Amino acid sequence: MHFKTVAIVGRYQDSGLDAPLRRLANTLQNAGCDVLVEAETGHNMNIQEHTLASYEDIGARADLAIILGGDGTMLGAARRLATSNVPLIGINHGRLGFITDIPLDGTDDAIASLLSGQYEQDERNLLEGRVMRGDEQMYSGLAVNDVIINRAGRGSMIELRVEFNGIFMHSQRADGLIIATPTGSTAYALSANGPILHPQARALVLVPVAPQTLSNRPIVLPDDGVLNITISALGRVESGASVHFDMQTWSDCQAGDRVDVRRSPYQVRFLHPTGYSYFSTLRSKLNWNRMPQPSDGTE
Protein backbone atom coordinates (compact mmCIF):
# COMPACT_ATOMS: atom_id res chain seq x y z
CA MET A 1 0.00 0.00 0.00
CA HIS A 2 1.65 3.19 -1.23
CA PHE A 3 -0.98 5.51 0.26
CA LYS A 4 -2.38 4.44 3.62
CA THR A 5 -4.30 7.63 4.44
CA VAL A 6 -6.09 9.37 1.57
CA ALA A 7 -7.95 12.69 1.77
CA ILE A 8 -10.75 13.80 -0.54
CA VAL A 9 -11.46 17.43 -1.37
CA GLY A 10 -14.58 18.15 -3.42
CA ARG A 11 -16.28 21.05 -5.08
CA TYR A 12 -19.33 20.77 -2.87
CA GLN A 13 -21.19 23.48 -4.82
CA ASP A 14 -21.71 20.96 -7.64
CA SER A 15 -25.07 19.29 -7.17
CA GLY A 16 -23.98 16.13 -8.99
CA LEU A 17 -20.88 15.51 -6.89
CA ASP A 18 -22.46 13.78 -3.91
CA ALA A 19 -22.74 10.29 -5.41
CA PRO A 20 -19.29 10.10 -7.08
CA LEU A 21 -17.57 11.47 -3.96
CA ARG A 22 -19.21 8.91 -1.70
CA ARG A 23 -18.45 6.16 -4.19
CA LEU A 24 -14.80 7.23 -4.30
CA ALA A 25 -14.58 7.25 -0.49
CA ASN A 26 -16.07 3.75 -0.30
CA THR A 27 -13.69 2.49 -3.00
CA LEU A 28 -10.71 3.78 -1.04
CA GLN A 29 -12.01 2.33 2.21
CA ASN A 30 -12.59 -1.07 0.58
CA ALA A 31 -9.00 -0.94 -0.70
CA GLY A 32 -7.77 -0.65 2.89
CA CYS A 33 -7.18 3.11 3.01
CA ASP A 34 -8.03 5.38 5.89
CA VAL A 35 -10.26 8.07 4.38
CA LEU A 36 -10.34 11.74 5.36
CA VAL A 37 -12.87 14.15 3.86
CA GLU A 38 -11.98 17.84 3.89
CA ALA A 39 -14.14 19.43 6.57
CA GLU A 40 -15.95 22.07 4.49
CA THR A 41 -16.64 19.50 1.79
CA GLY A 42 -18.00 17.07 4.36
CA HIS A 43 -20.17 19.58 6.22
CA ASN A 44 -21.78 20.92 3.06
CA MET A 45 -22.44 17.43 1.67
CA ASN A 46 -23.64 16.06 5.02
CA ILE A 47 -21.02 13.32 5.09
CA GLN A 48 -21.10 11.57 8.45
CA GLU A 49 -19.75 8.13 7.57
CA HIS A 50 -16.13 9.28 7.10
CA THR A 51 -13.70 11.30 9.21
CA LEU A 52 -13.71 15.03 8.48
CA ALA A 53 -10.39 16.87 8.58
CA SER A 54 -9.12 20.43 8.20
CA TYR A 55 -6.45 21.24 5.64
CA GLU A 56 -3.96 21.34 8.51
CA ASP A 57 -4.96 17.81 9.53
CA ILE A 58 -4.78 16.62 5.93
CA GLY A 59 -1.30 18.09 5.58
CA ALA A 60 -0.14 16.33 8.73
CA ARG A 61 -1.86 12.96 8.24
CA ALA A 62 -2.55 12.25 4.57
CA ASP A 63 -0.24 10.41 2.18
CA LEU A 64 -2.34 11.53 -0.79
CA ALA A 65 -5.13 14.01 -1.55
CA ILE A 66 -7.68 13.41 -4.31
CA ILE A 67 -9.32 16.55 -5.66
CA LEU A 68 -12.76 16.03 -7.16
CA GLY A 69 -13.88 19.09 -9.11
CA GLY A 70 -12.40 21.51 -11.62
CA ASP A 71 -9.08 23.29 -11.90
CA GLY A 72 -10.27 26.00 -9.50
CA THR A 73 -10.84 23.42 -6.77
CA MET A 74 -7.38 21.99 -7.44
CA LEU A 75 -5.75 25.43 -7.24
CA GLY A 76 -7.31 26.12 -3.85
CA ALA A 77 -6.27 22.75 -2.44
CA ALA A 78 -2.77 22.98 -3.93
CA ARG A 79 -2.09 26.32 -2.24
CA ARG A 80 -3.37 25.06 1.10
CA LEU A 81 -1.32 21.84 0.96
CA ALA A 82 1.85 23.10 -0.75
CA THR A 83 3.78 23.52 2.49
CA SER A 84 3.05 19.92 3.56
CA ASN A 85 4.19 18.30 0.28
CA VAL A 86 1.12 16.05 0.05
CA PRO A 87 0.81 14.72 -3.54
CA LEU A 88 -2.40 15.55 -5.39
CA ILE A 89 -4.58 13.73 -7.90
CA GLY A 90 -7.20 15.61 -9.92
CA ILE A 91 -10.49 14.05 -11.04
CA ASN A 92 -12.29 16.35 -13.43
CA HIS A 93 -15.83 17.27 -12.49
CA GLY A 94 -15.50 20.65 -14.14
CA ARG A 95 -15.21 21.83 -17.73
CA LEU A 96 -11.73 22.37 -19.12
CA GLY A 97 -9.52 20.48 -16.69
CA PHE A 98 -5.84 21.08 -17.50
CA ILE A 99 -4.66 19.98 -14.04
CA THR A 100 -7.66 17.86 -13.02
CA ASP A 101 -6.84 15.46 -15.81
CA ILE A 102 -8.60 12.19 -14.88
CA PRO A 103 -12.11 11.99 -16.39
CA LEU A 104 -14.89 11.17 -13.94
CA ASP A 105 -15.80 7.97 -15.75
CA GLY A 106 -12.19 6.79 -15.53
CA THR A 107 -11.92 7.21 -11.75
CA ASP A 108 -12.03 3.54 -10.72
CA ASP A 109 -9.28 2.37 -13.08
CA ALA A 110 -7.09 5.39 -12.34
CA ILE A 111 -7.39 5.03 -8.56
CA ALA A 112 -6.68 1.30 -8.69
CA SER A 113 -3.49 1.93 -10.68
CA LEU A 114 -2.36 4.76 -8.44
CA LEU A 115 -2.93 2.81 -5.24
CA SER A 116 -0.83 -0.04 -6.63
CA GLY A 117 2.06 2.33 -7.32
CA GLN A 118 1.52 2.76 -11.05
CA TYR A 119 1.74 6.49 -11.51
CA GLU A 120 3.90 9.32 -12.78
CA GLN A 121 4.93 12.29 -10.68
CA ASP A 122 4.81 15.86 -11.92
CA GLU A 123 6.28 18.65 -9.78
CA ARG A 124 5.14 22.22 -10.43
CA ASN A 125 6.61 25.48 -9.14
CA LEU A 126 4.55 28.09 -7.35
CA LEU A 127 4.88 31.84 -7.08
CA GLU A 128 4.92 33.84 -3.88
CA GLY A 129 4.11 37.51 -3.84
CA ARG A 130 3.50 40.41 -1.53
CA VAL A 131 1.99 43.87 -1.79
CA MET A 132 4.23 46.54 -0.24
CA ARG A 133 3.24 50.09 0.70
CA GLY A 134 6.52 51.71 1.57
CA ASP A 135 8.09 49.40 4.16
CA GLU A 136 4.75 47.88 5.22
CA GLN A 137 3.58 44.54 3.85
CA MET A 138 -0.12 44.85 3.08
CA TYR A 139 -0.80 41.36 1.73
CA SER A 140 1.01 38.19 0.73
CA GLY A 141 0.05 34.91 -0.90
CA LEU A 142 0.98 31.86 -2.95
CA ALA A 143 -0.12 31.19 -6.51
CA VAL A 144 -0.06 28.00 -8.56
CA ASN A 145 -1.24 29.67 -11.76
CA ASP A 146 -0.55 33.39 -11.66
CA VAL A 147 -0.28 36.70 -9.92
CA ILE A 148 -2.39 39.31 -11.72
CA ILE A 149 -2.41 43.07 -11.29
CA ASN A 150 -5.38 44.73 -12.95
CA ARG A 151 -7.61 47.75 -12.88
CA ALA A 152 -10.58 47.56 -10.56
CA GLY A 153 -14.10 47.59 -11.92
CA ARG A 154 -14.67 50.14 -14.64
CA GLY A 155 -11.62 52.21 -13.79
CA SER A 156 -9.31 53.46 -16.49
CA MET A 157 -5.99 51.88 -17.44
CA ILE A 158 -3.29 51.60 -14.81
CA GLU A 159 0.35 52.44 -15.27
CA LEU A 160 2.93 49.90 -14.14
CA ARG A 161 6.71 50.09 -13.79
CA VAL A 162 8.34 46.67 -14.11
CA GLU A 163 11.80 45.73 -12.81
CA PHE A 164 13.52 42.34 -12.88
CA ASN A 165 16.35 41.71 -10.42
CA GLY A 166 16.50 45.45 -9.80
CA ILE A 167 16.91 46.28 -13.49
CA PHE A 168 14.27 48.48 -15.15
CA MET A 169 12.41 46.62 -17.92
CA HIS A 170 9.63 48.96 -19.01
CA SER A 171 6.62 51.00 -18.03
CA GLN A 172 3.26 50.26 -19.55
CA ARG A 173 -0.32 51.45 -19.52
CA ALA A 174 -2.76 48.56 -19.70
CA ASP A 175 -5.80 46.98 -18.13
CA GLY A 176 -3.41 44.74 -16.24
CA LEU A 177 -0.40 42.44 -16.16
CA ILE A 178 -0.29 38.66 -15.69
CA ILE A 179 2.73 36.94 -14.13
CA ALA A 180 2.18 33.24 -14.81
CA THR A 181 3.94 29.99 -14.00
CA PRO A 182 4.18 27.30 -16.69
CA THR A 183 1.08 25.76 -15.08
CA GLY A 184 -0.72 29.09 -15.38
CA SER A 185 0.37 29.64 -18.98
CA THR A 186 -2.72 27.69 -20.11
CA ALA A 187 -5.06 29.76 -17.93
CA TYR A 188 -5.77 33.51 -18.12
CA ALA A 189 -2.37 34.14 -19.73
CA LEU A 190 -3.36 31.97 -22.70
CA SER A 191 -6.61 33.88 -23.23
CA ALA A 192 -4.53 37.11 -23.27
CA ASN A 193 -2.39 35.67 -26.13
CA GLY A 194 0.50 34.52 -23.98
CA PRO A 195 2.66 31.52 -24.95
CA ILE A 196 2.20 28.02 -23.58
CA LEU A 197 5.12 26.97 -21.37
CA HIS A 198 5.91 23.31 -20.74
CA PRO A 199 5.39 22.51 -17.02
CA GLN A 200 9.06 21.58 -16.57
CA ALA A 201 10.34 24.87 -18.00
CA ARG A 202 12.17 26.89 -15.34
CA ALA A 203 10.52 30.10 -16.41
CA LEU A 204 7.63 32.47 -15.90
CA VAL A 205 5.80 34.62 -18.41
CA LEU A 206 4.64 38.25 -18.25
CA VAL A 207 1.55 38.94 -20.34
CA PRO A 208 0.05 42.44 -20.61
CA VAL A 209 -3.75 42.66 -20.63
CA ALA A 210 -5.08 45.04 -23.30
CA PRO A 211 -1.98 47.30 -23.36
CA GLN A 212 -2.31 50.81 -24.73
CA THR A 213 0.78 50.29 -26.88
CA LEU A 214 0.64 47.22 -29.11
CA SER A 215 4.42 46.81 -28.93
CA ASN A 216 4.00 45.69 -25.30
CA ARG A 217 4.27 41.93 -25.87
CA PRO A 218 4.49 38.85 -23.63
CA ILE A 219 8.00 38.02 -22.43
CA VAL A 220 9.40 34.84 -20.89
CA LEU A 221 11.85 35.26 -18.01
CA PRO A 222 13.93 32.86 -15.90
CA ASP A 223 12.12 31.95 -12.68
CA ASP A 224 15.10 32.45 -10.36
CA GLY A 225 14.81 36.23 -10.31
CA VAL A 226 12.61 38.76 -8.51
CA LEU A 227 9.98 40.92 -10.17
CA ASN A 228 9.06 44.29 -8.70
CA ILE A 229 5.97 45.89 -10.23
CA THR A 230 5.14 49.38 -9.02
CA ILE A 231 1.70 50.85 -9.61
CA SER A 232 2.83 54.22 -10.88
CA ALA A 233 -0.61 55.69 -11.55
CA LEU A 234 -4.26 54.67 -11.42
CA GLY A 235 -5.64 56.95 -14.10
CA ARG A 236 -8.59 58.89 -12.73
CA VAL A 237 -8.73 59.71 -9.05
CA GLU A 238 -11.63 57.30 -8.48
CA SER A 239 -9.88 54.42 -10.23
CA GLY A 240 -8.44 51.48 -8.33
CA ALA A 241 -6.39 48.34 -8.82
CA SER A 242 -6.40 44.80 -7.49
CA VAL A 243 -3.85 42.02 -7.11
CA HIS A 244 -4.96 38.41 -7.48
CA PHE A 245 -3.03 35.38 -6.26
CA ASP A 246 -4.92 32.73 -8.21
CA MET A 247 -8.37 33.29 -6.70
CA GLN A 248 -7.27 35.27 -3.64
CA THR A 249 -7.68 39.03 -4.10
CA TRP A 250 -6.26 42.16 -2.49
CA SER A 251 -8.43 44.98 -3.84
CA ASP A 252 -7.14 48.05 -1.99
CA CYS A 253 -4.11 48.96 -4.11
CA GLN A 254 -3.00 52.58 -4.24
CA ALA A 255 -0.65 54.47 -6.52
CA GLY A 256 2.89 53.83 -5.31
CA ASP A 257 2.20 50.30 -4.05
CA ARG A 258 4.74 47.69 -5.17
CA VAL A 259 4.07 44.04 -5.92
CA ASP A 260 7.05 41.73 -5.43
CA VAL A 261 6.85 38.31 -7.09
CA ARG A 262 9.33 35.41 -7.00
CA ARG A 263 9.39 31.64 -7.24
CA SER A 264 8.20 30.01 -4.04
CA PRO A 265 10.46 27.51 -2.25
CA TYR A 266 7.46 25.14 -2.22
CA GLN A 267 6.30 22.91 -5.04
CA VAL A 268 3.07 21.11 -5.82
CA ARG A 269 3.28 17.40 -6.63
CA PHE A 270 0.68 16.10 -9.07
CA LEU A 271 0.31 12.38 -9.66
CA HIS A 272 -0.99 10.99 -12.94
CA PRO A 273 -1.83 7.48 -14.12
CA THR A 274 0.99 5.74 -16.00
CA GLY A 275 1.03 6.87 -19.61
CA TYR A 276 0.03 10.45 -18.86
CA SER A 277 1.13 12.91 -21.54
CA TYR A 278 1.05 16.68 -21.21
CA PHE A 279 0.84 16.98 -24.98
CA SER A 280 -2.14 14.64 -25.05
CA THR A 281 -3.86 16.99 -22.60
CA LEU A 282 -3.13 19.95 -24.86
CA ARG A 283 -4.41 18.11 -27.92
CA SER A 284 -7.61 17.22 -26.13
CA LYS A 285 -8.33 20.53 -24.40
CA LEU A 286 -7.26 22.81 -27.26
CA ASN A 287 -8.61 20.61 -30.06
CA TRP A 288 -5.19 20.34 -31.69
CA ASN A 289 -6.16 16.92 -33.04
CA ARG A 290 -9.19 18.24 -34.93
CA MET A 291 -8.55 18.76 -38.64
CA PRO A 292 -10.35 21.70 -40.27
CA GLN A 293 -13.23 20.63 -42.50
CA PRO A 294 -13.90 22.27 -45.88
CA SER A 295 -17.07 24.34 -45.70
CA ASP A 296 -18.27 23.47 -49.24
CA GLY A 297 -17.17 19.83 -49.43
CA THR A 298 -14.13 20.58 -51.61
CA GLU A 299 -10.44 20.54 -50.76
Residue 34, CA distances (Å) to 3, 11, 90, 299 in order: 9, 21, 19, 59
Closest by CA to 191, choosing from 218, 221, 154, is 218
CB-side neighbour CA atoms (13 Å) of 283: 8
Q: Each residue of 192-212: b (16+ CB within 10 Å) or e?
A: bebeebebebebbbbbbbebe
Rounded to the nearest 10 degrees, how much is the dihedral formed by the CA atoms of 84, 36, 51, 71? Answer: 100
Helix (H, G, I), strand (E, B) or coil at 21: helix
Hey, CA dihedral for 249, 167, 188, 101, is it positive or negative? negative
Q: What is the DSSP string of 106-155?
A: GHHHHHHHHHTT-EEEEEEEEEEEEEEETTEEEEEEEESSEEEEEE-TT-
Question: Is 71 a known active-site residue?
Answer: yes
Burial status of residue 285 (CB atoms within 10 A of its CB: 0-12, 13-18, 19 or more): middle
The single-letter code of the amino acid at 138 is M
Nearest to 175 by CA among 208, 205, 204: 208
Q: Which residues pair with 227 in a beta bridge?
A: 164, 261
Candidate list 71, 223, 246, 257, residue with the active-site label: 71
Catalytic residues: 71
